Amino acid sequence: MNIILLGPPGAGKGTQAKLLEVGRGMKQLSTGDMLRAAVAAGSEVGLQAKEIMDRGDLVSDEVILAVVGERMNQPDITAGVVFDGFPRTPAQAEALDGMLAARGQKVDAVIEMKAEDEELVKRISGRFTCASCGKGYHDSFDKPKKDGICDVCGGTQFTRRADDNEKTVRDRLTVYNKQTAPLVNYYAKRGNLHGVDGMADIKLVTASIGRILDGI
């Protein structure tokens, strides 16, 4: 089974992809991770991608699809994949459909994790992590039990991602909404688009996704 998780930054795609890996044996395919792995492995397509990135150019859809195909040929892909961060445009979606069709496969489900922009701004801009062990916290939803002390390792130093500020988050959401609206329409016309409430409790989101996949 091959599925795509759609959703704005902070909607929880990465969390749900990891849970699908654990619960269903699927593999999360992130284009960024795959490109870095291909470059590190020194494969033909990896060297091609490296040359493009070293020039400072954007990696073409053709190269990205080659990287995806190379990754899907690996022996650990037995229960299907979860596409995370790809496709981003209808053109990429069409190319992905073509690549999968050539392999006798298809996109079985596209799950849109819906969330309101204002709630996402609060969710993302409030995130911080322990600098020692990486435990994640939030200014409003998940504070350390003792102020300034990590619950896990007792560390007292915390960090925030530079791009987890309100302006950057709003800019990212604007880009996402502009890019993704046509993609949502693309999959809606194909009848494989499903929606879940990305702002619900993690367990509820997981259960909703599970019901969708069990019904395919």
Answer yes or no: are the C-beta atoms of 127 and 141 closer than 8 Å. no
Q: How far is CA 88 from the centre of its chain?
A: 11
For the question of residue 160 being annotated catalytic, the response is: no
Choose among 5, 215, 32: nearest CA to 112: 5
The one catalytic residue in 114, 122, 127, 143 is 127
Nearest to 148 by CA among 124, 162, 164, 132: 132
Q: Is 172 a catalytic residue?
A: yes
Instruction: Note whether 205 and 110 are within 8 A (CB).
Output: no
Contact 95, 65 (CB under 8 A): yes
Whether 18 is catalytic is no
> Catalytic residue among 161, 167, 190, 211, which?
161
**55 has catalytic annotation:** no
Whether 13 sits among the annotated catalytic residues: the reply is yes
CA distances from 159 to 17, 123, 164 (A): 25, 16, 11
**Options 24, 36, 50, 88, the catalytic residue:** 88
**Cα distance between residue 86 and residue 122, in whole Å:** 25
Sign of torsion, CA 77 83 84 88?
positive
Catalytic positions, written as ranges: 13, 88, 127, 161, 172
